[in-house]
Structure 1
Amino acid sequence: MKGYSIHIGINTTNPDVYNNLPSLKAAVNDAKWWQKYAKGLDYETLLLTDQEAQSGKILSEIEQRAQAMQPGDIILITYSGHGGTLPNEKPSDLDTEPMDQTWCLYDRQLIDDELYEAFKAFKAGTRILIVSDSCHSGTVTKDIETMETPGKINLTEVLIGGIEQSQTSRGFANKKLPAEVEKDILTRDYTSIYVPIQEKFKYESKRSEVKASVKLLAACQDDQSTYDGKEYGLFTGTLNKLFLQDGFSGNAREIIAKIKKYYTYPHPNCFEYGSVIESFDKGFPFTINIENADTLSGYLNPTQTSVKDIVSDNNITTGNVDKNALLLVEFQGEVPQIEEGDQIKIIKQKGTRFTLEALHIPYEQGWTAAHALKLRLKQSGYTATVEPILSFSPADDQKITRASNGNDEYITEWPPALDNPKVKIGWHLDDQHSQLSAAAQKVMAKTGSYVTVGHLDTGYLPGHIGLPEKLRTDKEKNFVTGKDETENQAHDKIDSGNDGHGLGTLCLLAGNNVPLSSTFDEFQGYIGGVPIADVIPMRISDSVVILNTENFCDAIDYSLEQGCEVVTMSMAGKPSPRMAKAVNKAYEAGLVIVSAASNCWYAGFFKTLLPKCVLYPAAFHRVIAATGAMYNQQPYDKDFLNTAKGDFTKYMQGSWGPPSSMTRALAAYTPNTPWAEHGNKFVRSGGGTSSATPQIAAAAALWIAYHRDELEAKGYYQPGQQWKKIEAVRYALYTSAAKASAFKDWQKYYGNGILRAMDALSIGVPDESLLSKSPEAESSFGGITQILGSFFKNRKLFRDTNTLKPE
């Protein structure tokens, strides 16, 4: 088998032909890189750049190789340069495309029909692989004035316009043939040069009678633009990284699917036609020597595979298909009449707020899409906040944090299994730990004690023996949209593969009086920390591994409407402006928010998934961040384990730091706390800061219920003064927390110490002279950079002993 390659790169075209078309910077570099890459794969290469790359020369070289190639051989043709279009004169029954696509060669445009005609000369059993780093449409990006009519916008055009503008500002030049150049060519040369060429193919169907197996990897869709860069074009530079740095070697379709991980726009595509060679389809398409290279198994009708096609292909199993970006758009003032276009789907609308799905843009690039949309809307005269709804692995997942699949024992790597394996389930409630059992009894004994707590999680499983006595099913609410979802049921969808996380945290918060039979005959009594509470369950996510910021904010609003005084959420994630706004609103209204600090992994596949730091909203100073302390009072951190590590599923640990995020933190107990299972029982292996969070929320609720009269007497329920109730709660919890007597380096890992709920009750309501208003929650770009940087660069920031400002 032999491999031949032709590499075409055109920075500068003939100025007489293209009306002094501005030169590109990277097209020749693209061709040279491809030639070097092909040589490394043992191709016999030819490089044609600028004046060398003329239509007659290129067609002649292709013809020569068609004659030389035998079944099993392959030719690689790469092109980088401007792209254009010409009117398509074919009858509609032969070709439905209104325009012919072209490569802008030095002397003239090469029409796609000419390439298809050249490909007919290749024998059956040969392979043709084309990589085209160009674009075709000179009119796809219109000025904002022509793109929209007054009072009406097309969201797809707005988004793409913003992305293209952003690409230009980053130094990328559009490779489209400008409209004025196309117009000049049509006026001057179309009749004399291009019509005679098109007449030859007017009654021939494109790609018909091509016996070779052909694959085209194109930089963008026919109605999109791609970009020239400083060193390489966007498409070629990405393939460079994909092949050389990442070592990716998937098939043609998988390559196209993988590229979307690297940039937001445009969307590359893959054309396939001609004969079918299965090993060519399944393997890395650039490989010369493949099995059964000359064996044909059929003929492929001309097809185009875009990213949209790929994500619905059941044969793709490499994990390339992820969630699309979700955007939250809220208009201030006039709301225009909105059309979706073909790249945007409106999922939900509530007043001036729209939840959008940006089709084919991965959620990892949600901020890019949000920025582009906001910028272009502003240029259109509309003021709107735009932010991504972020999907993120924040706290923990049943499959990787609790050995719960039939395992009733403690997680062996962590205390108390290491220190005292005979410790009974429910140890976290005792007087040597959280003191929640004693505190709950004291509050329950006080006549008239009451409090309402909002539980934000994945919902709950009806009928479990540990559900709170005062579970307010009449007020439960579901903020998750989708199939089979009902607004008034906060039921976890355990049968659909979800993890039952909400049931576990709900029972730790306010679990019922459970019998010995449900706890291995070891514990009888209230399994939850605040059994007197009215608990309103709110389903804000399908799974704990997704924190939907929009649903969190809606749940905070609902909690305020329903009179909740505490909310608990065992999830965490990235900040957003709307999240900050919701936290500030809750703080001013006296709603205590307790949120998990987050977890991370110290080994195994998940090690690089999460940063070791406090995430949001826990990192906001107006929120109590829940961190973890073990049975032995030491930090929930692998550095305090004195044992060999086993299965990677136990490698999760708590997160803490940087110091600036620990000023409002408090620890409670984990791992190996009780965890409610859907089999109507409990296991010993609860873990993660998910277990710590409801303990702290329970203590806050108990303190409010016990000191309600004094809080009211001091005016802390009066409008404008309600933030003082939050600070009073925190004053009591922080002041009473176990500190150096429990662990000498408590401030670094716990912030304000370890929860002691009974001791907190003994602290009365502080005078306002002892209370200070916490700084407002803000979501700046710096804060986002701080978090995102920790994902991808493993920065020192989160392990430094000094407080650092976000970059």
Structure 2
Amino acid sequence: MSKGYSLHIGLNKLDVDHYPGVPALKAAVNDAVFWESYARKLGYEPQSLHDAAATDSAVLSALRANAGKMEPGDILLLTYAGHGSHVPNEKAEGFDDEREDQTWCLYNRELLDDELFEAFRAFKEGTRILVVSDSCHSGTIVRALPDETDLSVMLESGLNRAASARGLRSRKLPLEAEQEIMMRFGEKVYEPLQKKYRKTAQAGNVKAAVKLMAACQDDQTTYDGEANGIFTEAFIQLFDQPSMQKATAETLIDEIREKYYFPRPNFFQYGAIIPSFDKSFPFTIYIPDADKIKGFRRPDLRPAPVRRSLSLEEQWDNVKVKKNAQLLVTFEEKPDAGLSGGKDIEILEQDGNTLLIELKNTPHEHSWSAAHALHQELMAKGWKATVEPVLSVNPAQDKRATREGDANNPDFIREWPPAHPEGKIGWHLDDDHSQLKKANEAVSAKPGAHVCIAHLDTGYIAGHTALPQKLDFARQRSFVKKEDPSQAIDKPESGQDGHGLGTMILLAGNKVTAEDTFGEYEGFIGGAPLADVVPMRISESVVIMNDKNFSEALSYAIETGCEVVTMSMAGKPSNRMAKAVNGAYEAGIVVVSAASNCWYKGTGNLLPKCVMYPAAFERVIAATGAMYNHKPYDVDFLQPGSERAIGTQYMQGSWGPASRMTRALAAYTPNTPWASSKHKFVRSGGGTSSATPQVAAAAALYIAFHREELERKGYYQEGRKWLKVEAVRHALYTSAAKEQLFPDWQKYYGNGVLKAFDALQVPVADESALMQSPSAESTLFGVVETIGSFFKRRRLFRSAEPKPEAEALAMELLHLLQTDPQFFPLFSRLDLNDPAAVEAEVSKNEFRDKVLQSPYASEYLKEGMMT
């Protein structure tokens, strides 16, 4: 039977004679104590070496002893916590390309990585070695003179500055100490050791199966905390999660990268390939076929790339969208020097005073940490700029969890009404529901009726039988970077292909035959087929909301003379988004946006259950959902006896709080027709994605029908165009079905449920009956200003240390409420128009503690919460 042995090294203190001026650590010995207790619990025979006991001879002797007694199938767990460093080295040509040896700082001297590799060569074939290294390995990049125009260097420097601001101690030897050590002991101690390995490949001829989980990359630093190092602390948290108790080494590293992204933990492996070791929880002693070898890995000590794929085994309520952060940098004045991206940053777009950059190793959840860090470094160099994230990602909307566009299943979602035999494709258009069919017929009979709609989505798929008859191919536009801007065509590999097609055809789809719809419907399938439709591809996936692309698309909608905008996406707000909404409103464009969706698995809330942005702005119509039976599109109103399993059975429309429902209007979903590829249509369209184009179609029909009256009242004149928006909304809201359909209609529907034909009967309201809606920018900045004032009274802003703008921290906090699931219930009920209520919430100790515990909050935000 396999045996487990472990060696746990922890050093807070080093010999001052060998390490002059090196500050003591606080938590490294605690790390070693934790790993010893954890190993003992798993059945290992542990040994620990702390501080003065952890000399080079003691460590190497312990490794030799373990190598001598371990047999094939046995495992050694080797953990190290302490300072890390490097010493210069020149190997003979052909033996590795490293020019520095990475080191562990033992009590009396630094232990070279070559010495560890030599010790590992003594272990028998078929044994396993698992190394957990919670130390720094400082490589050549941070020791070179930094390039002041390299954004990657600036980012890392800013992140180090942010960590230091919170009192985290680096486990990297100070540069002055490294130089002093080399001056005193280079020739006498380290050169003789290195000479021995000049013609030895570092990991060559290791027969054991070795896996190394390291706290950071070779060119980064890791940090000492109050109780544990941040790397060890992340393991402690993971080990408390039942889902992680069977995770592989690679999965564990991936999960730690989700907890903090800087420094970036690393994983590599070499030596024998033991398949069961690769597939098992790496700390397990007893695994099947523990001594069965299937070849050897060639040594490759290069940093492992960040994984961006989801395993099939991943639980649905743990789905994460692997997307890199993108930041928009806006300079007050264009920098004199040209900026380069460097190793970790790609410049996607450079236009005048702005840079759009993608951070290759920064998950989107950590965008604000990077934004603040880069901003601080730019300011330190005298470059005044703002740095803001541009992406919102809805993690629950993974393609495996959504039903929209499921070409293999054309039937209704049986848990939601309607279902066979009562439901047939096209039901949502009839007089008992949206009345769009009757309204379209009335408008089409009016000579010269016309209107132009901007369709903001993932684009369209060419060739579908029901594409709008007036699809404007000449003015189509893609705002997705690195794509042909003249082609708004969806990409099948996006993972959400067909979303734009589905919403476009609900908006203005052409005539279909019974053959196209399983014999269930003939006629126009879209709500406003007479409309000119300008397709605008603003994202590669409905999962991703890019507020820069959204803002540019609204500007293009104004430029092209569109009068209605429909967008079945939602995300996090920004001043850029608010300004764009204001511009569209003042240009007389009716903007309709999905209120958003949320999902449930048991009690697991995967998104806030409320109206998201831009639908939450009062100058936008928020499209909410009503079902076939006129009840709210909410899981609480499913018919009795429905089975509740994972999938779109648990997708539901979002609504509330009351402060975000003042401009909301419901339309019908789910089980609306959805354009597909294998079949012309499926019956399972869902989410507020299906409701949004119905509301937009009704707005467009009203404008086309009442154009002359709108013009006569002067609602197309400059400075008065917002009156057209309010007149359209007045008609839609006053004609909407209310208590006659559902008693609690205001809570779930806002202004009721769409009745498009009845809306046409409402005359254009006089100016005296219309009121201008509050500016989107002012309402957003109101809550940001309130939170910003809160931060200005905290400890961070009483110090002279460099810091982000209070408003930037406030915007981060607003985004955090929509990123971290622990805040979703609060964000779903919080009245963002009530400054006193907002300040009362953020002032609570309980709220502060949640921010301090959040893996998504930046170090500056955490510091800003402290009194």
**Is TM more than 0.5 here?**
yes
Match for 1:161 among 157, 160, 180? 157
**How many angstroms apart in 1 are the aligned matches of 2:309 and 2:705?**
56
Moved more, 178-187 or 736-745: 736-745
**How many angstroms apart in 1 are the aligned matches of 2:389 and 2:675?**
35
Aligned residue number for residue 666 of structure 2: 667
Match for 2:263 among 266, 285, 292? 266
Aligned residue number for residue 415 of structure 1: 417
CA contact (8 A) 1:264 1:368 kept: no
**How many angstroms apart in 2 are the aligned matches of 1:531 and 1:341?**
50
String of CA shifts for 1:211-263, please: whole Å, max 9, x gaps. 43333222112111111111111111112222333534333333333322221
Paired letter, 1:688? G
- Deviation of the 1:755 alpha carbon: 1.5
**How many angstroms apart in 2 are the aligned matches of 1:290 and 1:520?**
54
Aligned residue number for residue 825 of structure 2: 795
Corresponding position: 1:339 with 2:336? no
**How many angstroms apart in 2 are the aligned matches of 1:184 and 1:37?**
37
String of CA shifts for 1:629-652, please: whole Å, max 9, x gaps. 122222111212222223533232
| Counterparts of residues 149-188 of structure 1 (less than 5 Å) | 149=148, 153-188=149-184
Instruction: Go from structure 1 to structure 2 and tell me whether the alpha carbon gap of 1:280 and 1:518 turns closer, same or farther (over 3 Å shift).
Output: closer
String of CA shifts for 1:191-226, please: whole Å, max 9, x gaps. 333333333434444334444333322211211111
- Deviation of the 1:750 alpha carbon: 0.7
Indicate the SS of the match to 1:628. strand
Instruction: Go from structure 1 to structure 2 and tell me whether the alpha carbon gap of 1:293 and 1:427 turns closer, same or farther (over 3 Å shift).
Output: closer
Instruction: Go from structure 1 to structure 2 and tell me whether the alpha carbon gap of 1:721 and 1:6 turns closer, same or farther (over 3 Å shift).
Output: same
Aligned residue number for residue 306 of structure 1: 303
CA contact (8 A) 2:624 2:749 kept: yes
Moved more, 644-653 or 200-209: 200-209
Instruction: Go from structure 1 to structure 2 and tell me whether the alpha carbon gap of 1:362 and 1:395 turns closer, same or farther (over 3 Å shift).
Output: closer
Aligned residue number for residue 112 of structure 2: 111
Aligned residue number for residue 572 of structure 1: 570
Aligned residue number for residue 48 of structure 1: 49
| Counterparts of residues 56-205 of structure 1 (less than 5 Å) | 56-137=57-138, 141=142, 147-149=146-148, 153-205=149-201
Indicate the SS of the match to 2:260. coil
**How many angstroms apart in 1 are the aligned matches of 2:7 and 2:437?**
77
Paired letter, 1:119? F
Structure 1 regions of 5+ residues with no counterpart? Answer: none
| Counterparts of residues 646-795 of structure 1 (less than 5 Å) | 646=643, 647-649=645-647, 650-678=649-677, 681-761=680-760, 762-768=762-768, 770-777=770-777, 778=780, 780-789=811-820, 791-795=821-825
Paired letter, 1:127? R
Corresponding position: 1:472 with 2:472? yes
Instruction: Go from structure 1 to structure 2 and tell me whether the alpha carbon gap of 1:375 and 1:658 turns closer, same or farther (over 3 Å shift).
Output: farther
% identity of equivalent residues: 52
- Deviation of the 1:717 alpha carbon: 2.7
Indicate the SS of the match to 1:725. helix
Paired letter, 1:466? A
**How many angstroms apart in 1 are the aligned matches of 2:652 and 2:308?**
34
Corresponding position: 1:391 with 2:390? no
Match for 2:589 among 578, 588, 591? 591
Match for 1:487 among 485, 493, 496? 485
**How many angstroms apart in 1 are the aligned matches of 2:310 and 2:427?**
50
Indicate the SS of the match to 2:108. coil
Paired letter, 1:307? A
Indicate the SS of the match to 2:776. coil
Aligned residue number for residue 32 of structure 1: 33
Moved more, 442-451 or 588-597: 442-451
Aligned residue number for residue 857 of structure 2: none
Moved more, 433-442 or 158-167: 433-442
Instruction: Go from structure 1 to structure 2 and tell me whether the alpha carbon gap of 1:396 and 1:343 turns closer, same or farther (over 3 Å shift).
Output: closer
Moved more, 349-358 or 308-317: 308-317
Instruction: Go from structure 1 to structure 2 and tell me whether the alpha carbon gap of 1:9 and 1:503 turns closer, same or farther (over 3 Å shift).
Output: same
Instruction: Go from structure 1 to structure 2 and tell me whether the alpha carbon gap of 1:341 and 1:797 turns closer, same or farther (over 3 Å shift).
Output: closer
- Deviation of the 1:612 alpha carbon: 1.3
Corresponding position: 1:363 with 2:364? yes
**How many angstroms apart in 2 are the aligned matches of 1:552 and 1:519?**
33
Aligned residue number for residue 222 of structure 2: 226
Instruction: Go from structure 1 to structure 2 and tell me whether the alpha carbon gap of 1:472 and 1:343 turns closer, same or farther (over 3 Å shift).
Output: same
Aligned residue number for residue 785 of structure 2: none
Paired letter, 2:414? T
Aligned residue number for residue 801 of structure 2: none
Moved more, 369-378 or 395-404: 395-404
Paired letter, 2:720? Q
CA contact (8 A) 1:257 1:307 kept: no
CA contact (8 A) 2:20 2:180 kept: yes
**How many angstroms apart in 2 are the aligned matches of 1:658 and 1:142?**
53
Q: CA RMSD in A?
A: 3.1
**How many angstroms apart in 1 are the aligned matches of 2:549 and 2:738?**
36
- Deviation of the 1:581 alpha carbon: 2.9
| Counterparts of residues 515-526 of structure 1 (less than 5 Å) | 515-526=513-524
**How many angstroms apart in 1 are the aligned matches of 2:121 and 2:56?**
17
CA contact (8 A) 1:505 1:570 kept: yes
Indicate the SS of the match to 1:162. helix
Indicate the SS of the match to 1:45. strand
- Deviation of the 1:751 alpha carbon: 1.0
TM-score normalised according to structure 1 size: 0.91
Instruction: Go from structure 1 to structure 2 and tell me whether the alpha carbon gap of 1:248 and 1:581 turns closer, same or farther (over 3 Å shift).
Output: farther
**How many angstroms apart in 1 are the aligned matches of 2:43 and 2:774?**
66
- Aligned pair count reads 796
- Deviation of the 1:7 alpha carbon: 0.9
Instruction: Go from structure 1 to structure 2 and tell me whether the alpha carbon gap of 1:178 and 1:92 turns closer, same or farther (over 3 Å shift).
Output: farther
Aligned residue number for residue 249 of structure 2: 252
- Deviation of the 1:520 alpha carbon: 4.6
**How many angstroms apart in 1 are the aligned matches of 2:553 and 2:5?**
61
- Deviation of the 1:570 alpha carbon: 1.1
- Deviation of the 1:679 alpha carbon: 5.4
**How many angstroms apart in 1 are the aligned matches of 2:518 and 2:272?**
66
- Deviation of the 1:488 alpha carbon: 2.2
- Deviation of the 1:718 alpha carbon: 3.1
Aligned residue number for residue 538 of structure 1: 536
Instruction: Go from structure 1 to structure 2 and tell me whether the alpha carbon gap of 1:201 and 1:288 turns closer, same or farther (over 3 Å shift).
Output: same
Indicate the SS of the match to 1:306. coil
**How many angstroms apart in 1 are the aligned matches of 2:733 and 2:143?**
58
Instruction: Go from structure 1 to structure 2 and tell me whether the alpha carbon gap of 1:217 and 1:520 turns closer, same or farther (over 3 Å shift).
Output: closer
Paired letter, 1:727? E
- Deviation of the 1:437 alpha carbon: 2.8
Moved more, 487-496 or 238-247: 487-496
Instruction: Go from structure 1 to structure 2 and tell me whether the alpha carbon gap of 1:683 and 1:254 turns closer, same or farther (over 3 Å shift).
Output: closer
Paired letter, 1:788? T
Instruction: Go from structure 1 to structure 2 and tell me whether the alpha carbon gap of 1:206 and 1:673 turns closer, same or farther (over 3 Å shift).
Output: closer
- Deviation of the 1:680 alpha carbon: 7.0
Aligned residue number for residue 506 of structure 1: 504
- Deviation of the 1:667 alpha carbon: 0.7
- Deviation of the 1:668 alpha carbon: 1.0
**How many angstroms apart in 2 are the aligned matches of 1:213 and 1:325?**
35
Paired letter, 1:626? A
Instruction: Go from structure 1 to structure 2 and tell me whether the alpha carbon gap of 1:95 and 1:386 turns closer, same or farther (over 3 Å shift).
Output: same
- Deviation of the 1:352 alpha carbon: 4.0
Aligned residue number for residue 855 of structure 2: none
TM-score normalised according to structure 2 size: 0.85
Paired letter, 2:439? A
Aligned residue number for residue 458 of structure 1: 458
String of CA shifts for 1:161-220, please: whole Å, max 9, x gaps. 222222223332211100111122122232333333333434444334444333322211
Moved more, 654-663 or 273-282: 273-282
**How many angstroms apart in 2 are the aligned matches of 1:537 and 1:240?**
50
Instruction: Go from structure 1 to structure 2 and tell me whether the alpha carbon gap of 1:230 and 1:140 turns closer, same or farther (over 3 Å shift).
Output: farther
Paired letter, 1:739? K
- Deviation of the 1:658 alpha carbon: 1.6
**How many angstroms apart in 1 are the aligned matches of 2:408 and 2:268?**
49
**How many angstroms apart in 2 are the aligned matches of 1:342 and 1:187?**
31
Instruction: Go from structure 1 to structure 2 and tell me whether the alpha carbon gap of 1:544 and 1:50 turns closer, same or farther (over 3 Å shift).
Output: same
